[in-house]
Chains A and B, each alone.
Chain A
Amino acid sequence: MNILNFLIQGFSVALQPINLGVALIGAFIGTLAGALPGIGPINGVAVLLPIAYTLNLPPETALIMLSGIYYGAEYGGRISSILLNIPGDSSAVMTTLDGHPLAKQGRASQALAISAISSFIGGTIAVVGLTLFAPLLATLAIKFGPAEYFALIVFSFSVLAIIVGHKPIKTAIAAILGMMLTTVGVDSSTGILRYTYGQPELYDGIDFLIVVIGLFAISEIFILLEKTDTSKLVPIEIKDRAWQWLEIFKYKWTILRASIIGFTIGVLPGTGASVASAVAYSLEKRIGDRDGTFGKGDVRGLAAPEAANNAAAGGAFVPMLTLGIPGSGTTTILLGALLLYNIQPGPMLFSERPEIAGGLIASMYVGNLMLLVLNLPLVKVFTRILLIPLWLLVPGITVMATIGVLSVHGSIFSLFWMLGIGLFGYFLRKLDYSLVPFILGFVLGELLEANLRRALAISGGQIDILFQSEISRVLWFLTILTIAVLPAFQSIRKAILQKAKS
């Protein structure tokens, strides 16, 4: 496929007024979701997905808006990291290390500007990478049959176990529980009812939207009850004068390195922005920390994680669009959104529905530009919103979550499911289980079962079909390799984190 034609077609979709409008809305809500501590991109996407769906937005439009929320949040996270020393979401943890000291030294506006520009460069490099690699990977993915998909999904779970998992066993349990939830309902190949207990509401299975809203938004409300109210914190005032634009060139290598690392890590299935920013920060520290300035307000220590987490957010779209395997928690929900519209991501998406794949990718060029504009002059607006008290925020999330569920299912039954899953999600979080493998298990579980059964139906029950093709052998090899290096990787990760903290 010709990349230029692909892009031109993409821009013709992305530049339609409605798509420009939703991209701007997405970027704005994303920055907000990122900036408010406790509300991450997952919550933003989870709550708005059913509403976008009910409004009958065309799939590419809905996807453009939801993706805008996702990568917009990577911009927003830095604001509270820098001004409050509280990361807006998990990928902005590294940004606090040098961002907050800079603000304390009275260089808040410099820190905000540098991080916004780093975010923009990181985000844009990732979109370029996405434009170049995604169609390429899509041609490879045509060779994937059921056996290969089965191996690929197993591989992505093994990667997830390493990256999310400081506790791989708990990651595995969460993923299995998510998969178990998918077995509720009619079995598509035999028509047999599993785990429905005569409840007609359960015949279609448990709705993805209800699971997502309950798991993330409702559990968040309970977690927020324990948090300190940020409205009582005082953000550092922005009073330093405007900043010399050309100064950014001093950090070009830092930003470039971090962007490439971020993109690469983002492309790996199951890994996301928080890992990317941690790796980029520690690498930058190793290369550049000659005078021990990192952690005390070194601009490079701010630019690196910000470029990396934005690049990772972009990179996470590559496996999601080409293979249907999400690269992070939020892209899992975006994948679920595509499935809601009956669109199967994968190689066919690029050849048969180029308006979706291309439109989304092109919109990300535009969206990053919008975010840069939103985040430079308007940063003070977001600083204000940062101080919205919990007593306004929490009821707001609750009502939005309820409207979200009501918009797809107007029954009390589904609202109770939302609450039940939310409470379960809260217990999982308290017990230190990550919700990302749970939702990944829920989205991929059905695919995993279907591909396994399809593969064995082809082979007539012979299990060796799973290991026959070269692609699946490579994937199994990678899976075993991943599990084998797991303990080593964990101790390295622990060492890196400790170093970064000290």
Chain B
Amino acid sequence: MSELPKAKAVNSSRIFAGLMLAFALFYALEVIGLKVPFAYDPLGPKAFPLLLAILLAIFSLLVVFSPQEQEIRWPANRLLLKSVLLAMTLVGYCICLFWFGFILATIVAVTLLALLFEARWVHSLSAGILSGLIFYGLFGWLLQIPLPKPLW
């Protein structure tokens, strides 16, 4: 943490507030462009989103100009790599569910997740296989929740 310069004017809190400000503008413009042929109420569908956008802009500006906060500890190095891998595993899981079906996708995903949380290979693989079968047995078979089947 020490490598951060002391009088740094831009930190993640302000960057986020800046993004929110931009989002407020975008959000407002989107609704202004709506064509409303008729509305039964005097306010119509535009007023509330506009009000929200104005409020968001005001509060975001307050954050941008409020006193400097302590910089947030973002994941770095190894932890950052693990976070990215975690996100990729989750996205991959969602896609694989519809290709390989629930059981197979769950076995792979649980194994990978367990490895990410520093389990040993044997443990991870057995956790994967067991949870693939148990979750399917409990929810897919016993409780009849429609879970994706393999494409083939």
Chain A residues close to B by CB (< 8 Å): 51, 54-55, 169-170, 172-173, 176-177, 179-180, 183, 187, 189-190, 192, 194-195, 218, 221-222, 224-226, 229, 389-392, 394-396, 398-400, 402-403, 406-407, 410, 412, 415-416, 419, 423, 427, 430-432, 448-449, 452-454, 456-457, 460-461
Residues of chain B lying within 8 A (CB to CB) of residue A194: 31, 34, 45, 49
Is A398 within 8 A of B31, CB to CB? no
Is A406 within 8 A of B86, CB to CB? no
Is B40 within 8 A of A457, CB to CB? yes
Number of A-B contacts (CB under 8 A): 170
Residues of chain B lying within 8 A (CB to CB) of residue A449: 48
Q: Determine chain B's interface SS by DSSP, over half rule.
A: helix
Is B94 within 8 A of A402, CB to CB? yes
What's the least CB distance linking B121 to chain A, in Å?
11
Is B48 within 8 A of A183, CB to CB? yes
Docked CA distance A406–B109 (Å) = 16
Docked CA distance A194–B59 (Å) = 23
Residues of chain A lying within 8 A (CB to CB) of residue B62: 169
Task: Name B43's contact: one of A176, A180, A419, A453 (CB within 8 Å).
Answer: A453
Docked CA distance A118–B87 (Å) = 42
Is A395 within 8 A of B114, CB to CB? yes
Docked CA distance A189–B66 (Å) = 39
Closest to B69 in A: A432
Of the A-B pairs whose beta carbons lie under 8 Å apart in the complex, a sample of 19, sorted by A's number, is A173-B56, A176-B59, A179-B52, A183-B31, A187-B45, A190-B38, A190-B39, A192-B36, A194-B45, A225-B75, A225-B86, A229-B117, A391-B114, A391-B119, A402-B94, A403-B135, A406-B146, A423-B87, A461-B42
- Kindly identify, within residues 19 to 63 of chain B, every residue whose CB is under 8 Å from any CB belonging to chain A: 20, 27, 30-31, 34, 36, 38-45, 47-49, 52, 55-56, 59-60, 62-63
Is B36 within 8 A of A51, CB to CB? no
Q: Determine chain A's interface SS by DSSP, over half rule.
A: helix
- Kindly identify, within residues 106 to 143 of chain B, every residue whose CB is under 8 Å from any CB belonging to chain A: 106, 109-110, 113-119, 123-124, 127-128, 131, 135, 139, 143
Docked CA distance A190–B49 (Å) = 15
Is A183 within 8 A of B147, CB to CB? no
Residues of chain A lying within 8 A (CB to CB) of residue B118: 229, 391
Task: Name B56's contact: one of A177, A190, A407 (CB within 8 Å).
Answer: A177
Closest to A431 in B: B16
B4 on the interface (CB 8 Å rule)?
no
Is B145 within 8 A of A392, CB to CB? no
Is A392 within 8 A of B59, CB to CB? no
- Assess A406 versus B145: contact at CB under 8 Å? Given A423-B87, A453-B48: yes
Is A51 within 8 A of B146, CB to CB? no
- Assess A456 versus B146: contact at CB under 8 Å? Given A169-B59, A176-B56, A431-B13: no
Closest to A462 in B: B42
Residues of chain B lying within 8 A (CB to CB) of residue A454: 41
Residues of chain A lying within 8 A (CB to CB) of residue B98: 412
What's the least CB distance linking B40 to chain A, in Å?
6
Is A173 within 8 A of B60, CB to CB? yes
Is A415 within 8 A of B97, CB to CB? yes
Is A173 within 8 A of B110, CB to CB? no
- Assess A399 versus B86: contact at CB under 8 Å? Given A392-B127, A430-B74: no
Docked CA distance A389–B113 (Å) = 12
B91 on the interface (CB 8 Å rule)?
yes
